């Protein structure tokens, strides 16, 4: 089983007739999916998504793939194939198109419609090419066949990429729901046909590789949603992903059945459901939808609100409702339904929202106490099924954290894929498919690029470390005035502290220690302000650590006269 090594160097030139695959995101993480394929100097990109920040990344809005690997080769990019319209697969497209606006976007009707709506906000008019399952299209040296897959958003696709180096099947995100809400099954017949033709490399969704068996059918959720709405005596507020068309359809059907009006809350929810309705993916009964601004005019028992915020996102509608920072006020007797799975890492934020809602008297129904969501990702039984159908010569698990990738690799081994034909890579690791074998050839830089407001890439890991220190320990600023010729202290030190938890009075007894340290340096002939700052920082840091066992950020300011 091939795996990355921390000392991997830059890859050699791609051998003639070989296919190179570099994941710039999506390996060892849930999100930021982006894979770059190279053949004869031309590039094909599959997906270009974002990762959402963790609590230890304060102030960060989004995390993008690092485009540095392809920045000097953007003219070599034939197209970007988008497997489906979830943010972790399309969210970084606007930032890629800022660098070259005419890169063709390839995807299904709904996928392209949702990305176009997003790009409108960025004032970008994309070059698009709509495809449907069963079609084959050629982009430079890449012959791509598109196959239907079932997922938690309509119109998802897998893609088989043919080059003279072999056939690569990239499943995208998928599951094998045998009774899907929209009747669109994963094309297992197509997978089997490709297996008979010969899949040289299978790249398959690993998110649920640790989950045994098969996922529950989407249809089993509808009766639970119906029961929640039927038995609720006042308003029902449903929080869901803004792209989960199937779930929103189930909620609207239940609301219409029980005579309730529906209001959509949240910009992305209104935008996406408008697109889905216009294209016919969302069937909305006449006069069901009302404006959220008029919702207070309706009796509580006649209303269902559908909003964003199922993951505890601070600025999403549900979080703001829980914090009493939203025009819609949670009242005793309201029912809140969290109709989505919990993205790993969001547990604390979601629990905080649940507690906030409960505080105001709401009943909260979630995956922990009711069957209100099924996963959009194939479980181990389904992954085994696909491995046996496609019988790949080489296997590379994608889309998952390390434990998911390794669990999926073990499944491949159980189905007969030789251990030395299984490649577990991480972001930036270069995999070459040459003469029917997939091997790791090196590594390129594939770090995080942080979006903070309007700035992209300006925030570094060092900046985040400083923010964490400020958030956890506060800061202490020390202002001193020194003689530029002698380095002697002429005024100060003046100390200010914020968030450190130290009583300012305590600094009065410590100031003489700073003065003595500076006098000793001046006696040694030190006049360099950089060195004087180091002395102040070291002296204050040692005292705070010894006295309070704390490590606030210390900001020395040296003024010369």
Residues 6+ apart with CB under 8 A from 37: 19, 20, 21, 43, 44, 45, 46, 142, 161, 168
DSSP state of 422: B
Least Cα distance to 57 among 323, 361, 450, 384 occurs for 450
Alpha carbon of residue 256 to chain centroid: 33
Least Cα distance to 210 among 54, 397, 5, 351 occurs for 397
Least Cα distance to 256 among 230, 231, 233 occurs for 230
- 267-278 and 245-257 helices, crossing angle to 10°: 90
Alpha carbon of residue 423 to chain centroid: 23
304 labelled as ligand-binding?
Answer: no
- 511-523 and 529-548 helices, crossing angle to 10°: 150
What is the SS3 assignment for 206? coil
376 labelled as ligand-binding?
Answer: yes
- Other CB atoms closer than 10 Å to residue 80's CB: what's the count? 26
374 labelled as ligand-binding?
Answer: yes
Integer-rounded Cα radius of gyration of the chain: 28
Residues 6+ apart with CB under 8 A from 162: 142, 143, 144, 145
Helix (H) or strand (E) holding 472: helix 461-473
Name the strands in the sheet holding 363-365, side by side, starting at the edge strand that comes first in the sequence.
261-265, 303-307, 236-239, 335-338, 363-365
Where is the binding site for substrate, in residues?
Answer: 373-377
Where is the binding site, in residues?
Answer: 373-377
């Amino acid at each position: 089983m091939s795996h990355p090594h921390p000392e991997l160097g830059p890859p050699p030139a791609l051998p003639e007739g070989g296919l190179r695959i570099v994941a710039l995101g999506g390996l060892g993480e849930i999100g930021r999916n982006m894979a770059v394929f190279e053949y004869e100097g031309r590039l094909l990109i599959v997906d270009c998504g974002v990762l959402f920040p963790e609590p230890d990344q304060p102030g960060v809005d989004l995390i993008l793939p690092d485009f540095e690997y392809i920045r000097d080769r953007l003219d070599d990019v034939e197209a970007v194939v988008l497997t489906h319209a979830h943010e972790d697969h399309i969210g970084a497209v606007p930032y890629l198109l800022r660098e070259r606006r005419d890169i063709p976007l390839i995807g299904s009707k709904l996928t392209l419609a949702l990305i176009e709506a997003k790009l409108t906000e960025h004032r970008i008019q994309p070059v698009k090419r709509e495809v449907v399952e069963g079609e084959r299209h050629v982009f430079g040296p890449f012959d791509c066949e598109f196959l239907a897959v079932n997922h938690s958003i309509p119109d998802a696709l897998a893609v088989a990429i043919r080059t003279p180096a072999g056939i690569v099947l990239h499943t995208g995100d998928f599951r094998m729901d045998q009774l899907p809400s929209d009747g669109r099954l994963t094309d297992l017949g197509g997978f089997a046909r490709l297996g008979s033709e010969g899949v040289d490399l299978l790249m398959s969704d690993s998110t649920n590789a640790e989950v045994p068996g098969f996922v529950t059918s989407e249809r089993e959720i509808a009766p639970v949603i119906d029961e929640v709405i039927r038995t609720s005596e006042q308003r029902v507020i449903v929080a869901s992903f803004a792209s989960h068309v199937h779930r929103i359809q189930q909620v609207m059907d239940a609301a219409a059945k029980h005579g309730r009006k529906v209001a959509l809350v949240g910009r992305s929810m209104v935008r996406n459901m408008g697109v889905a309705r216009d294209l016919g993916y969302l069937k909305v009964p006449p006069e069901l939808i009302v404006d959220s601004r008029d919702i207070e005019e309706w009796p509580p028992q006649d209303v269902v609100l559908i909003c964003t915020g199922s993951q505890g996102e601070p600025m999403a509608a549900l979080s703001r409702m829980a914090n009493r920072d939203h025009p819609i006020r949670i009242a005793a007797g309201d029912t809140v339904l969290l109709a989505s799975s919990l993205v790993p890492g969001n547990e604390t934020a979601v629990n905080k929202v649940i507690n906030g809602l409960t505080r105001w008297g709401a009943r909260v129904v979630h995956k922990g106490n009711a069957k209100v969501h099924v996963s959009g990702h194939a479980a181990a039984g389904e992954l085994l099924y696909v491995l046996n159908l496609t019988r790949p010569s080489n296997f590379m698990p994608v889309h998952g954290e390390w434990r998911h990738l390794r669990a999926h690799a073990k499944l491949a081994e159980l189905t007969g894929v030789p251990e030395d034909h299984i490649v577990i890579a991480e972001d930036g690791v270069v995999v070459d498919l040459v003469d029917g074998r997939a091997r790791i050839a090196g590594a390129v830089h594939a770090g995080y690029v942080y979006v903070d407001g309007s700035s992209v890439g300006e925030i570094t890991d060092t900046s985040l470390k400083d923010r964490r220190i400020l958030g956890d320990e506060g800061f202490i600023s020390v202002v001193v005035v020194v003689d530029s010729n002698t380095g002697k202290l002429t005024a100060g030190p003046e100390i200010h502290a914020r968030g450190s938890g130290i009583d300012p009075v305590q600094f009065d007894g410590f100031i003489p220690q700073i003065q003595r340290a500076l006098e000793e340096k001046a006696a040694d002939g030190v006049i360099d302000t950089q060195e004087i700052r180091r002395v102040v920082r070291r002296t204050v840091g040692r005292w705070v650590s010894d006295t309070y066992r704390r490590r606030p950020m210390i900001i020395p300011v040296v003024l010369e006269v």
